[in-house]
Chains A and B, each alone.
Chain A
Amino acid sequence: MAGSSEREIQRAELQWGAVMAGAVGVLLAIVVVGSAAATLHPPSNVERVDPASLHVSGEFVDGNLGSTQNLDGSVTVRFIATQFSFVPRCLEVPADTPVVMRTTSPDVIHALLVTGTNTDTMIVPGYVSEVKTRFAAPGDYRMPCTEFCGPGHADMWSVVRVVPRAEWKPDADDKVRCEITNQ
């Protein structure tokens, strides 16, 4: 046969295989190191809650919804995902501050995605979904429901309002709430 011998071609294939294995190894290493260094991994929280009594007792009663500051300086924002709205609909958090988002559903499975960020989780009745994140830039971030939950699904969205840290001030009951205007 003319040209490269069978042995040369086999060697070339092995060399290419090594190059590809190296490339995949580098990508995996970047993902592992990047995820550890930047705290990037899928939210994982197994916590039960009674979906039938959310509105009468416990963490998700109406008066406890909204944003509140924790002793360590982080902010916890609590809200409910229900057909077909997030309650409250506007969530105000400070910029460049650790934020813990806690939510659950009294009816069907929902999900959320804060557009322009990696914040994304399912919301399952009977469980509390918890997402830890940090918003770098102030602004209004749309937060739609991303799991089809019924005929009003398309209208189910809210806004995460990120304000400069100095402008974020809890009111008398230690909560921060906001209103959606011009949306």
Chain B
Amino acid sequence: MALKQPIAPSGLPLDDAELSPELKRALATVPRGAFAVCGVAVALLFIAWLIMYFGVFLQRGPVS
């Protein structure tokens, strides 16, 4: 997957030299933040599913 250069508000490609130090520092760890958000969201969904399956569905008895 080809990644494109960041685009400045002017519409021109944003060069490294134009990035502020704070932005460079934030961009250096991009996947970690995404992993944190995705991980928490998926973990909550996973736990909710387990609670529903074991706590509600299985408790309602067998059927076949």
Contacts and interface: CB of A to CB of B under 8 A. Distances in A.
Contacts of A119: 61, 63
For B29, B39, B53, B63, which residue has the most chain A Cβ atoms within 10 angstroms?
A: B63
A8 B16 contact: no
A4 B28 contact: yes
A9 B30 CA distance: 8
* SS of B interface (majority): helix
Interface string A16-32: 10011001000100110
B61 to A, nearest CB: 5
A77 B5 CA distance: 70
Interface residues of B, number: 31
Contacts of A40: 57-58, 62-64
Interface in A62-121: 116-120
Interface string B10-48: 000000100100011011111100110011001000100
Nearest to B17: A2
Interface residues of A, number: 35
A4 B29 contact: yes
A132 B31 contact: no
A132 B35 contact: no
Contacts of B34: 12
Interface of B: 1-3, 5-6, 16, 19, 23-24, 26-31, 34-35, 38-39, 42, 46, 49-50, 53, 57-58, 60-64
Interface of A: 1-4, 6, 8-10, 12-13, 16, 19-20, 23, 27, 30-31, 34, 38-43, 116-120, 131-136
